[in-house]
Structure formats: structure tokens, C-alpha cells
A and B are shown apart, each in its own frame.
Chain A
Amino acid sequence: MPLELVKEEWMGKISEVTIGATKEEGGSRTSVVTVGGETGLSFLPSESEMPHRPVVAMEVWDVVPEDWPEEVVKPFKEVMDDPARWSKKCVDEYGADLICLRLQSAHSDFGNVPVDKVSEGVKKVLEAVGVPLIILGPGQDDRDNEVLPRCSEVAKGEKCLFGDATQDNYKTLVAACMADGHNIIGQSPIDINIAKQVNILIADMGFPLERIVIDPTTGGLGYGLEYTYSIMERARLAALGAGDKTLALPIICRVGQEAWRASQGKRERFSRLGHSFGTGTSVGSNYSCFPSCSRGRYPHHASSPGRGKCEADDR
């Protein structure tokens, strides 16, 4: 008797987001990247399609990072003072699909660099590499709101992916990205409901849902990875099963940032365990192959210990 398999028939589909625009499309990229488009759960080709592979972006700062672990700094030491050269190295030597440019220099603790100079830097990176750009503000609401609109203008037509729109601060960035034709990251602090709420708020301003990418905030392995894992599964189930368009969006995960957040002590201990921290390989790479996590996300390998956002509602 033939075995009848249980195949899911999903009603939803993840939207496709294209990052980058070639000359013909009004930009200057030599390559573009499309993510999303899945019609089912991950890696089950017999029941659904997964038209686009996950892509990898590498993170570049526009200021020399102060306290990055040595293992991460090593391969980039020579170029870290020049974001353009740094980006070029990521693409030429390591094959990055995208560059994720963090405008950390605008941060009040990292130089508070004026808007003009920051946007000038964006221009230089755009000139230096042909791959599409993810552009992140310094993560301070007031500075983000000053710097990002200008950078959006400078990069007009390039269809970058800008971040982060958060529940507390989304209006300025959404307006800029809407005017200049960019995509946007809706970020939420490890919470399925807020993930959805941010997308609704962005869309309520008239921004097309199909140009939003979800950043659910990725907890590191041993630091709450399972929360993010379940949020991704829940988001996909809602999108595919219940046809929830506000969650039917590609996901971006900043795994490197979280992986390297592990304290110095942990890293030393790990080194003692015999792991060599080589070029571009982090502990994070082990779990970047999760079936349900890895669809349509971009693990940034090299990354900062950065800001971890995870606000528990403390009632």
C-alpha cells in the first residue's frame, strides 16, 4: 500500500524583495540580489518552492571599531580606516553578496560626525563596490533621523535596504525610503507581535509591504537563539498558513553581531577548546544552516559586539 505523505498546502507566499538597481534600472549596481519568494517551509522542495538562496552580507563600519575582538579585526586590519577599501575587500576577497554599511561614525559616542561627511562616506562605498548596500544608522533615534534621510537621498535610485525602522522611531526613515525608492528593515525586539506591529505601522504610512524586510533580532546561541528561532517559525506559519501579509516578508538576521557579543571570557574558553577563529568564520556559522532560520536572511559574518536590543515588557 503506497504511503500517503502529509504535504502542506499553504495559501500564502513570502514576498520577493530586490535589493540594488543596475544602471538600466536607475542605479549603478553591477549586481542585484533578490530574496524571499518562498511558498512553503524551508528546505522541503517536494512541497514548496524556495526560489532564492539566502545571501550573505558583510558588515562594514564607517569608523574604526574600537572593541571588536581580535579574531574579527585581523583580516580587515589594514582597511578598517577606509570603508570603501574595506567594502571592496569583502566583495573581492570574500565574495560578499552585499555590503552592510553601519554609519557608526554618526553615533554620539563614536565621533558624532556631521551629516554631510557621513553621506559622503556612503557615496564612496557606492562607488567602490558594485554589490547592493544595506545601510544602517548608528541606532540612536535622533542621530538616525538626521543622518539616514540624507544618506537615502544620496543613494537615491540604488534600491538599498535601509535600517532600522522600529516601533518607537519609524516615521522619518519610512518617509525617506518612500521618497527615494529604497527598501526598509522593520526591526523588533524578539517579539512576534511587535514584528508585525512595526510592519503595519510602516505600511500604514503608505509604504509598500513588499519592500519591507523583517529583523526579528537574533539572540546568539546560548543567548536566546531559541526565542528568535520560534519567532521565525511562527512568522512563517502565520504568513503561509493564515495568509498574513504583514508577516509574509523575508527575514534578515544579524547573527555575527550576536555571536561576537559573547564575552571575552567565553571566547577565550572557546579558543582553549581548540577552535581556531579563522577568517570570516564564527561560532555563528554553525547554526546559520537552520532550515527555518536561513530562508531569505543574510547572516552578517563579521560584525560588531554591538547593541543588543531586547526589551522585555516588565510589568
Chain B
Amino acid sequence: MALTGLDIYKQLPKTNCGECGSPTCLAFAMQLAAKKTSLDKCPHVSEEGRAALEGASAPPIKLVTIGAGEKKVEIGNETVLFRHEETFYHETAIAIAVADNLSDDALEAKIEEIKKLHFERVGLSISINLVAIRDTEGNQERFAKVAERIEKETGLSLILISQNPEVMKAALQVCGERRPLIYAAGRDNYESMARLAKEYSCPLAVKAEGLEELAELTQKIASLGVADLVLDSGARDLLKMISDLTQIRRLALRKSYRPLGYPTLAFASDKNPYQEAAKASVCVAKYAGIVVLEGTEPWQVLPLLTLRQNIYTDPQKPIQVEPKTYEVGNVTDQSPVLVTTNFSLTYFTVEGDIEASKVSSFIVVVDTEGTSVLTAWAAEKFTAESIAAAMKSQGVEDKVSHRKLILPGFVAVLSGKLEEALPGWEILVGPRESSGLPAYLKNTWKT
């Protein structure tokens, strides 16, 4: 159970000394509860206090790292069942499956396709994370060679799929240092797979038929000294997948059930590419740590990555849009220019209302660190100076031939200063609420 700020506060020295960087012990406790600071910063906490707090803070779902270096992938360590309760922390890793029996040409083509699967979205780069290499013929040499080549050419971390410990070992000999995920330890091979995982310090996937067997296996493997596990309940049918993934998450969080306190892996593979994308999207929403796809079509992958980005956005942080000048409709140099903040709800409201007005317009977005108009104004982030600076840096003067700027009605007080800060511009005070924009643009606006 997560401790509340007050629970934590009770274990702290209550001196309000401020040495931790927070003004009061209670403030520090709240930061700790929100996992925004660490107990180490408190120099005066008693031994008992420390023991009590550390015991309660062990993560119910283990954090597992796959790969090494910049492109390593972290999964697990989730704390909630629903994103609105807090947030989801570690994005579902997307893996593309590649069989090791492809011809060299086909393999090369596949690698090229995989290399293309990274995109820019809202100023962030999003991409797939892993390549899952599947042993198809039990050929040690081939498996190792394909693994080595893919790792080298894509730079991505790997999942090695083989039930044969000998084949697995061959691949680990060439790329074991970069901590690929070994897939998988099962009922019959778990001892040798666990040995490999230990030998190469790699994370190990555990595959079973059903949750009960899975829990038995993880306990046995843990007792062999392998700590970084990833779970596959064996479900392949979508309904069963949802059910198993949900149970694993619930058991770990609600019951602190350690045998299933690990991140999960799901195969979304399906012959129908639409179905596959749909299945994968379910897995992203409902608790998969890794989802493995066959398809490499950008139109399959981009929506999935976008969805992942959406679902894993911290619902507690204001979403921001990029501060720049946006065009709504078919703008000309006569189109009106409106200014607003970069809080995404504010921006999209304004954008929607401009669309509704059917008056093509420019929206100049000022960076207010994701705060709305009045909040930004009160905190001095939406000022005559910041608006004027945005107008200049975004080159608004070159986009329109008129010199009229529409200011949100709530900050009408800025109009005087803004006219000073933007010589030559006339500042028009628009409606207070965005919903007044259609009428304003249609009836009042004139160049």
C-alpha cells in the first residue's frame, strides 16, 4: 500500500529544519509520497523511521531493464490500475518480430523497414524499441548471426526467442553483453534458461500455460537467483490476454503478490494487419510491458506509437502545444491574428472555435509553460513582453499585411502595454470566453 503524506510525516523528525530542500517536514513527506524526492535527503531521519519507510516503498511490480546503453528499455514499476489514479510510468515497449530463416535479402529489407519506424510527433521522437528474433530451425549459427546483424544495424535491444538452450546460448555468446531478453523459460527448460540468464546477467521471460503455472515457475526461477523476469501467461486470444494481463496487474498491486510482481509480454501477432494493430492497441492500454508485432507498416506502427504516447502521458501534467504560429483554415495576409497560451486545452478550444467560425486565422501561441490565460497572466508568464517577443520570434509581421492583434478578453489590461511593446500594432480586445470567438470573428473583425 502506498503511504500518504501524513503517514510518512509521522516517521520524519518534524523539526522543519529545511535541510532537505523542502520548507517543512510535511512538505518533504508530500514530495516523498509523490515519489518526487528521496528519503536520503533527510539527514535526521531515525533508523526506525527509515526502516519503516523503505519497507513500504518497495515497488510491487519489478522494474526490468532490457538492453544497455542509450536504447535500453525499462518496463514495469507501475503503481496503478488506471492512469487517472496517478500515471503509467514505463511505456509499453513495442517489439517487431523477425524470423531467423529469412533470406539475406529479405532480412536486409526487413532491417530497412525497421529502421524507418521512428517518427516525430509534437516535438518528440517516438519509435519502436525492440526487435524479437525468432529461432525457426534450431540452427545455432544462423540464430546468432541474425541476432548479431540486427543488433548491429538497428542499434535496438533484442528479444531472443528460442526454446532451445543451446541455440539461446549461441546468440548470447555474440550479444549477451547487451542484456537481451531471453524468451523464454518454460516448464521443461527453466533450469537451463535460468542458468543462462544468470551467466549473462540477462532478463528472462517466463512462459507458462496459465497464471497458476506462471506463478509456480517464477518462484522456482527466483529461487535459482534470477531476479529480472518478464511474464507471458501464454494467452494468445485477445479476450484471454485482457483477462490475464488484468489479473497479473491486480494481483501485484492489490495483493502485493510477489510471484506475479513483474512486467508482462504479449504477442499481438495476427494474420489480419488491422486486427494486429487493434490487438496491440488493447495491450498498450491494458497493461502489457512489451507487445510483439509482426507488421512493420508505418500506418500500423505510427497510430500505435501515438496511442502509447497518449496513454502514457502524465494526466497530472498540463499538456502543452508547441509555441509557434498556427494556421487555421486557408490563411492569407489579411487573416486575423489571435494570441493565446500553450496550454493544450486552451489552444484546442481556441482552434476549435476558430474552425467553427470559418474565418481562417493565425494563432500565435506563447510559451506559458502549459498554463491557461488567466493563470499565466497572474504568474507573469503571459505579459506584454512575452507576447511581443513571441510575435517577433515567430515572424508574425511577415505573415500578415495588417497590424491588428486580437487579445483574449480576460487580459484586456495588457492592451495598453502591448501597444507600447509592439509599435505599429493595434491591439483588439477579443471576447473573454473562447466560445465568443465565432461571433467575434464573423461580426466584429475587420482588417
Q: Are A and B in contact, CB atoms below 8 Å, in the complex?
A: yes
- Chain A residues near B (Cβ < 8 Å): 2-3, 5-6, 43-46, 109, 221-226, 229-230, 233-234, 237, 270, 273-275, 281, 283, 285-292, 307-315
> Is A230 a contact of B299 with CB atoms below 8 Å?
no
Q: Could you tell me the distance between the alpha carbons of A270 and B306 in the complex, rounded to whole angstroms?
A: 13
Confirm or deny: B356 has a beta carbon within 8 angstroms of a beta carbon on chain A.
Answer: yes
Chain A residue, CB-CB nearest to B119: A273
> In the assembled complex, which residues on chain B have CB atoms less than 8 Å from the CB atom of A43?
239, 242-243
A-B contact count (CB 8 A): 134
- Quick one: given A224-B344, A229-B285, A311-B434, are A289 and B356 in contact (CB under 8 Å)? no
CB contacts under 8 Å to A, within B354-388, are 355-356, 358, 372-375
The listed residue (A224, A287, A314) touching B281 by CB distance below 8 A is: A287
- Quick one: given A5-B247, A287-B303, A290-B285, are A226 and B242 in contact (CB under 8 Å)? no
CB contacts under 8 Å to A, within B225-284, are 239, 242-243, 246-247, 250-251, 254-255, 274, 277-279, 281-282
> Is A311 a contact of B349 with CB atoms below 8 Å?
yes
Q: Could you tell me the distance between the alpha carbons of A289 and B283 in the complex, rounded to whole angstroms?
A: 11
> In the assembled complex, which residues on chain B have CB atoms less than 8 Å from the CB atom of A275?
297, 299
> In the assembled complex, which residues on chain A have CB atoms less than 8 Å from the CB atom of B215?
3
> Is B247 a contact of A286 with CB atoms below 8 Å?
no
Chain A residue, CB-CB nearest to B378: A315
> Is A225 a contact of B307 with CB atoms below 8 Å?
yes
The listed residue (A109, A234, A312) touching B358 by CB distance below 8 A is: A109
Q: Could you tell me the distance between the alpha carbons of A310 and B434 in the complex, rounded to whole angstroms?
A: 10
> In the assembled complex, which residues on chain A have CB atoms less than 8 Å from the CB atom of B21?
none
- Chain B residues near A (Cβ < 8 Å): 82-84, 121-122, 211-212, 215, 239, 242-243, 246-247, 250-251, 254-255, 274, 277-279, 281-282, 285-286, 297-299, 302-304, 306-307, 309-311, 313, 315, 319, 343-346, 348-349, 351-352, 355-356, 358, 372-375, 408, 410, 433-435
> In the assembled complex, which residues on chain B have CB atoms less than 8 Å from the CB atom of A307?
352, 355-356
Name 27 interchain pairs, CB-CB below 8 A, sorted by A. Answer: A3-B212, A5-B247, A5-B251, A6-B247, A6-B250, A6-B254, A45-B239, A45-B243, A222-B310, A224-B319, A224-B344, A225-B307, A226-B313, A230-B82, A274-B297, A281-B274, A285-B274, A285-B278, A289-B279, A290-B281, A290-B285, A307-B352, A309-B352, A310-B345, A312-B345, A314-B433, A315-B374
> In the assembled complex, which residues on chain B have CB atoms less than 8 Å from the CB atom of A3?
211-212, 215, 251
Pick the most buried of B243, B246, B304: most chain A CB atoms within 10 A of its CB: B246
Q: Could you tell me the distance between the alpha carbons of A46 and B408 in the complex, rounded to whole angstroms?
A: 53
> In the assembled complex, which residues on chain A have CB atoms less than 8 Å from the CB atom of B299?
270, 273-275
> Is A221 a contact of B242 with CB atoms below 8 Å?
no
Q: Could you tell me the distance between the alpha carbons of A45 and B313 in the complex, rounded to whole angstroms?
A: 29
> In the assembled complex, which residues on chain B have CB atoms less than 8 Å from the CB atom of A281?
274
> In the assembled complex, which residues on chain B have CB atoms less than 8 Å from the CB atom of A109?
358
Q: A44-B246, A289-B282, A308-B351 are in contact. List 13 more A-B contacts (CB 8 A).
A: A2-B212, A5-B250, A6-B250, A224-B310, A230-B83, A233-B84, A237-B82, A273-B298, A274-B298, A275-B297, A275-B299, A292-B285, A314-B408
Q: Could you tell me the distance between the alpha carbons of A5 and B243 in the complex, rounded to whole angstroms?
A: 10
The listed residue (B121, B255, B303, B408) touching A286 by CB distance below 8 A is: B303
> In the assembled complex, which residues on chain A have CB atoms less than 8 Å from the CB atom of B352?
307-310
> In the assembled complex, which residues on chain B have CB atoms less than 8 Å from the CB atom of A270?
299, 302
Q: Could you tell me the distance between the alpha carbons of A285 and B344 in the complex, rounded to whole angstroms?
A: 25
Pick the most buried of A226, A274, A288: most chain B CB atoms within 10 A of its CB: A226
> Is A286 a contact of B274 with CB atoms below 8 Å?
yes
> Is B355 a contact of A308 with CB atoms below 8 Å?
yes
CB of A252 to closest CB in B, whole Å = 19
Q: Could you tell me the distance between the alpha carbons of A286 and B212 in the complex, rounded to whole angstroms?
A: 32
Q: Could you tell me the distance between the alpha carbons of A45 and B240 in the complex, rounded to whole angstroms?
A: 10
Q: Could you tell me the distance between the alpha carbons of A229 and B282 in the complex, rounded to whole angstroms?
A: 12
> In the assembled complex, which residues on chain B have CB atoms less than 8 Å from the CB atom of A288?
278
Pick the most buried of A229, A274, A312: most chain B CB atoms within 10 A of its CB: A312
> In the assembled complex, which residues on chain B have CB atoms less than 8 Å from the CB atom of A237?
82
> In the assembled complex, which residues on chain A have CB atoms less than 8 Å from the CB atom of B375?
315
> Is A314 a contact of B285 with CB atoms below 8 Å?
no
> Is A290 a contact of B282 with CB atoms below 8 Å?
yes
> Is A289 a contact of B281 with CB atoms below 8 Å?
yes
Chain B residue, CB-CB nearest to A230: B84
> In the assembled complex, which residues on chain A have CB atoms less than 8 Å from the CB atom of B302?
270, 273
Q: Could you tell me the distance between the alpha carbons of A45 and B346 in the complex, rounded to whole angstroms?
A: 40
> In the assembled complex, which residues on chain A have CB atoms less than 8 Å from the CB atom of B239?
43, 45
> Is B410 a contact of A291 with CB atoms below 8 Å?
no
> In the assembled complex, which residues on chain A have CB atoms less than 8 Å from the CB atom of B356?
307
Q: Could you tell me the distance between the alpha carbons of A308 and B354 in the complex, rounded to whole angstroms?
A: 10
> In the assembled complex, which residues on chain A have CB atoms less than 8 Å from the CB atom of B82?
230, 233-234, 237
> In the assembled complex, which residues on chain B have CB atoms less than 8 Å from the CB atom of A290?
281-282, 285
CB of A102 to closest CB in B, whole Å = 15
Q: Could you tell me the distance between the alpha carbons of A191 and B212 in the complex, rounded to whole angstroms?
A: 40
> Is A287 a contact of B212 with CB atoms below 8 Å?
no
- Quick one: given A5-B251, A274-B298, A311-B435, are A286 and B348 in contact (CB under 8 Å)? no
The listed residue (B279, B310, B408) touching A226 by CB distance below 8 A is: B310
The listed residue (B242, B303, B307, B344) touching A291 by CB distance below 8 A is: B242
Q: Could you tell me the distance between the alpha carbons of A237 and B83 in the complex, rounded to whole angstroms?
A: 13
> Is A221 a contact of B303 with CB atoms below 8 Å?
yes
> In the assembled complex, which residues on chain A have CB atoms less than 8 Å from the CB atom of B307?
221, 225, 286-287
Chain A residue, CB-CB nearest to B346: A312
Chain A residue, CB-CB nearest to B376: A314
> In the assembled complex, which residues on chain A have CB atoms less than 8 Å from the CB atom of B251?
3, 5-6
> In the assembled complex, which residues on chain B have CB atoms less than 8 Å from the CB atom of A234?
82, 84
> Is B348 a contact of A223 with CB atoms below 8 Å?
yes
Q: Could you tell me the distance between the alpha carbons of A292 and B373 in the complex, rounded to whole angstroms?
A: 33
Q: Could you tell me the distance between the alpha carbons of A237 and B82 in the complex, rounded to whole angstroms?
A: 10
CB of B307 to closest CB in A, whole Å = 6
Chain A residue, CB-CB nearest to B286: A291
- Quick one: given A43-B242, A45-B239, A286-B274, are A226 and B306 in contact (CB under 8 Å)? no
CB of A224 to closest CB in B, whole Å = 7
The 5 closest A-B pairs by CB, nearest first: A312-B345, A275-B299, A308-B352, A6-B250, A226-B310
> In the assembled complex, which residues on chain A have CB atoms less than 8 Å from the CB atom of B348?
223-224, 308, 310, 312
Q: Could you tell me the distance between the alpha carbons of A234 and B434 in the complex, rounded to whole angstroms?
A: 27
- Quick one: given A273-B299, A310-B345, are A221 and B84 in contact (CB under 8 Å)? no
CB of A54 to closest CB in B, whole Å = 13
> Is B349 a contact of A289 with CB atoms below 8 Å?
no
> In the assembled complex, which residues on chain B have CB atoms less than 8 Å from the CB atom of A223?
348
Q: Could you tell me the distance between the alpha carbons of A249 and B122 in the complex, rounded to whole angstroms?
A: 34
Q: Could you tell me the distance between the alpha carbons of A219 and B427 in the complex, rounded to whole angstroms?
A: 33
Q: Could you tell me the distance between the alpha carbons of A3 and B213 in the complex, rounded to whole angstroms?
A: 9
> In the assembled complex, which residues on chain A have CB atoms less than 8 Å from the CB atom of B309?
222
Chain B residue, CB-CB nearest to A225: B310
> In the assembled complex, which residues on chain A have CB atoms less than 8 Å from the CB atom of B242?
43-44, 291
